[in-house]
Structure 1
């Protein structure tokens, strides 16, 4: 609610419980409304403030992801990313990464989507094709535009001699909502042994 202005006390506007970007927009509009020239009819100025607040509250209804449903959609992005790797769909996999993604993988570092595409994407697709992954545990953190998902997997790799090798992998993935979809902002993957990737072009 908008409180009536008293002498010596500034007006107060409702603050929408949404993402950082919406809070910044709210603060900007409130600041602009306070800089408006003082009209001869006092109620008109408060009407402007009321309209600003109604506008902000309308934006807050859909500006930022919140709740368990959006946490599940963030996890779905992770699963879709690995499905894209397994189907060797490079374009789809890259579309789920933020341009400034930071990837830590087995001691190597990729500092952008372009760098990941040229250095590790092909290897990751080959590994995904040769692996069976079983989710062992998953923990979720974060709020607003950011989610963190911590997972452990049992991975079974099939060697060229058809011998299966099991290893446990740990994975941390950070995601950011860009207003349209969740994008992977950070990936950190490690396992307790090297993954055997079958040779695909043997004569």
Structure 2
């Protein structure tokens, strides 16, 4: 699967939550309720990252990554903010802008200056003339520093929904 398809998974995680089976959006506050209070600011950074990608603001998205951020997807990785910027950032932003993403479940924890936010979602729409319908999973690990929470690690995956029948 393309990196952009996985970004779709990420973008899916930044929008309002809903139940997977019913596909009905639920208020974002229900999703946030699964995030420990100590991790709420880190979760807001994850949302800001996705919003920046969707808006095509790649500079804002990059500003939320630490310099040595690791982005893993489909068995491969980019090992720095600069490597991500030079490879998949543009296509990830284009993909996020073209599709609709929904967070279905989110959890988050923090321990000192480290937080991890896990999200599951669904992304639908059309990208490059092809229909998109993916269930997504994302893990982001964030570090708190002088500038606040920044993303140190992203792991994206997605799959086609199983047919009901």
Q: TM-score, normalised by structure 2?
A: 0.71
- 1:168 aligned residue: 135
Structure 2: distance between partners of 1:125 and 1:107: 21
Offset, 1:153: 0.7
- 2:98 aligned residue: 130
In the alignment, structure 1 segments of 5+ residues that lack a partner are 1-66, 194-203
- 2:82 aligned residue: 114
- 1:185 aligned residue: 152
Structure 2: distance between partners of 1:142 and 1:73: 10
Matches within 5 A, 1:55-74: 68-74=36-42
- 1:150 aligned residue: 118
Alignment of 1:93 with 2:61, yes or no, is: yes
Q: May I ask how many residue pairs the two structures share in their alignment?
A: 126
Superposed CA offset, 1:126-151 (max 9, x none)? 11011211111112223110001111
Offset, 1:164: 4.4
Computing the radius of gyration over CA atoms, which structure comes out larger, 1 or 2? 1
Structure 2: distance between partners of 1:70 and 1:88: 29
In the alignment, structure 2 segments of 5+ residues that lack a partner are 1-34, 161-165
Superposed CA offset, 1:72-98 (max 9, x none)? 111000000011001111111100000
Q: TM-score, normalised by structure 1?
A: 0.58
Aligned 8 A contact 2:53 2:93 in 1:
yes
Instruction: Report the structure, 1 or 2, having the larger strand content.
Output: 2
Aligned 8 A contact 2:49 2:61 in 1:
yes
Return closer, same or farther for 1:159/1:126 CA change in 2, 3 Å cut-off.
closer
Alignment of 1:105 with 2:105, yes or no, is: no
**What do you get for the CA RMSD once the two structures are aligned?**
1.8
